[in-house]
Amino acid sequence: METFTLGGIHPPEHKELACNAAIESCKPPQRAVIPLSQHIGAPCKALVEVGQRVVAGQLIGNPEGFVSAPVHASIAGKVTGIEAFPSPMGRMVPCIVIENDKTDEWAVFEEDPGYIERTADELKGRIKAAGIVGMGGATFPTIVKLSPPKEKKIDAVIINGAECEPFLTSDHRVMLESPKEVIEGLKILMKVLGLEKGYIGIEENKKDAIIKMREIASGDRNIEVHSLVTKYPQGAEKMLIKSILNREVPAGGLPMDVGVVVQNVGTAFAIYEACKFGKPLVERVVSVTGSAVVSPKNLSVRIGTSVSQMIEQCGGLKGGAVKVISGGPMMGFAIYDLDTPVTKGTSGIVAMEDKDIVHRTKFNNCIRCGRCVEACPMGLMPLMLSVYSEKGMYADAKDYHLFDCFECGSCTYVCPSKRPIVQQIRLAKTMVKP
């Protein structure tokens, strides 16, 4: 079993809440709110007008710029507005609002059973057209990862099935229920990148998924399924590459700098659907879980469905719910509006009771216990970053590798003084140039 060397933490996993719940289809929403920016990079330009009828799978937003991804309608109906809604990350973003006309009419896609024989460029074209982005949460447009500059030689692709965030189980369920499709997605990636070798990394708390994936991949000697130690943040790209291939992405660099492309399980599934069926990314699996959800489930949800509707399908919230998080409890965003729509990057909705969360509004002095240094997977000294930021000495924080922090939150999790270290680091990052 493999793992990364520096740091890492073991928060309670709570996967049991939803890991045995088979993926269930979420009722298509009465109103879909589809953000024009569901990815890192330039937002899309709306292709439709208010009053126009659209069908599910129809292109409604066109990318402007290379780092971007198109968006598609997830339901059939009439466009009733193009207006600002809160995104899961809290910002107001322009969205296309579609009122469902209950026909559930879909755009016509061409199925291509011989997809694997197509050229790399053709497959890339389908992935690009389908609007696929990193579905683990970072939402980096997949096509960009698949188009490395010539001087970067890629020799490995990894499917990220670590799902190291507590509570979340959507990738786990996809691997259990659609293992063939995930492997096919990996094969497409190998073909597109011209690779012999493909890897899948799964934390060993998902033994059934490891067994399943190994079983499906057993016929193919070029695909390795790796069992990884259950340790947060195993699913961070840099950690995953270190664990599986023992390569260190250089500071400030990208996985492609060590010849690796990493894609999430859900993304691999979407790639398969795009290449075989021509289906754009308009639905995804979302874990709706947490101690404050009546019956936690994994839902297959149309993009643009509101958080409140998903929660409703899971029996609603318990009375003690005080926080609803889009994503996992380590890196996710607390949402303030339950009308917030699901986007391509929403891997989970976690509702928590007060006993589960930590309040860091009032925090103590750093006692230099060094727990954060031990926990940091990047080998940083979070205590120094925290104190420098607190004192407004941002330039000094930079000297302690401020920009190597990817905000996994391990330091903050272990801090006995309950210091909001990650937030102090975020602040410092905005105050100095890299």
Report the residue from 1, 50, 92, 358 that binds another protein according to the rule CB under 8 A. Answer: 358
Beta carbon of residue 38, minimum distance to another protein (angstroms, whole number):
19
> CA 132 to CA 200: how far, in whole Å?
19
d(CA 290, CA 166): 10
Question: Closest Cα to residue 409, out of 392, 426, 395?
Answer: 426
CA dist., res. 327 & res. 350, Å (int): 7
As measured in angstroms, the least distance from the Cβ of 224 to another protein is: 23
Select 13 or 283, whichever has its Cβ closest to another protein.
Answer: 13
Site for another protein in 10-49 (CB under 8 A): 11-12
If the CB atoms of residues 46 and 325 are measured against another protein, the closer one turns out to be 325
Q: What does the DSSP 8-state code read for residue 294?
A: S
Q: Confirm or reject binding of residue 431 to another protein (CB under 8 A).
A: no
Tell me how far apart the 2 most distant CA atoms of the chain are, in Å: 62
64 lines the binding site for another protein (CB under 8 A): no
Q: What is the DSSP string of 288-354?
A: EESTTBSS-EEEEEETT-BHHHHHHHTT-B-TTEEEEEES-TTT-EE-S-TTPBP-TT--EEEEEEG
Q: How far is the CB of 301 from another protein (least distance, A)?
A: 19
Q: Is 388 in the site for another protein (CB under 8 A)?
A: no
Nearer to another protein, 99 or 353 (CB): 353
- Contact flag: residue 248 with another protein (CB under 8 A): yes
User: Applying CB under 8 A, which part among 190-198, 217-225, 296-304, 357-365 lies near another protein?
Assistant: 357-365
How many residues bind another protein, per CB under 8 A? 74
Q: How far apart are CA 202 and CA 420, in angstroms?
A: 30
Among 333, 393, 396, 431, which residue interacts with another protein (rule: CB under 8 A)? 333
Taking the least distance from each CB to another protein, the nearer of 157 and 375 is 375
Between 27 and 426, CB nearer to another protein? 426
Is residue 320 a contact point for another protein (CB under 8 A)? no
Using the contact rule CB under 8 A, the part of the chain among 112-120, 274-282, 333-341, 390-398 near another protein is: 333-341
Phi first, then psi: what are they for 251, rounded to 5°? -55, 135
DSSP classification of residue 147: S
User: Which residues does residue 299 pair with via DSSP β-bridges, in sequence order?
Assistant: 24, 286
Question: What separation in angstroms does the CA of 205 have from each of 12, 13, 73, 190, 228?
Answer: 12, 9, 36, 27, 9
Contact status, residue 170 vs residue 160, Cβ threshold 8 Å? no
Cβ-contact 220, 214 below 8 angstroms: no
Tokens of 354: 């007060």
97 binds another protein (CB under 8 A): no
Q: Is 315 in the site for another protein (CB under 8 A)?
A: no
Q: How many helices (H) and strands (E) does the chain have?
A: 13, 17
If the CB atoms of residues 178 and 291 are measured against another protein, the closer one turns out to be 291
Question: Taking the mean position of all CA atoms in its chain, how far away is CA 342?
Answer: 12
The footprint of another protein on residues 397-416 (CB under 8 A) is 400-401, 404, 407, 409, 412-416
**3-class SS of residue 428:** helix
Q: Residue 112 CB, nearest distance to another protein (Å)?
A: 40
Tokens representing 400 are: 């302690």
Nearer to another protein, 363 or 394 (CB): 363
373 binds another protein (CB under 8 A): yes
Query: Under the criterion CB under 8 A, does residue 52 sit at the interface with another protein?
Result: no
- Residue identified by tokens 């003084």 is 417
**164-183 positions binding another protein, by CB under 8 A:** 166
Tokens of 410: 């391990």
Closer residue to another protein (CB): 26 or 249: 249
Determine if 256 is a binding residue for another protein (CB under 8 A): no
Query: 142 or 234, CB closer to another protein?
Result: 234
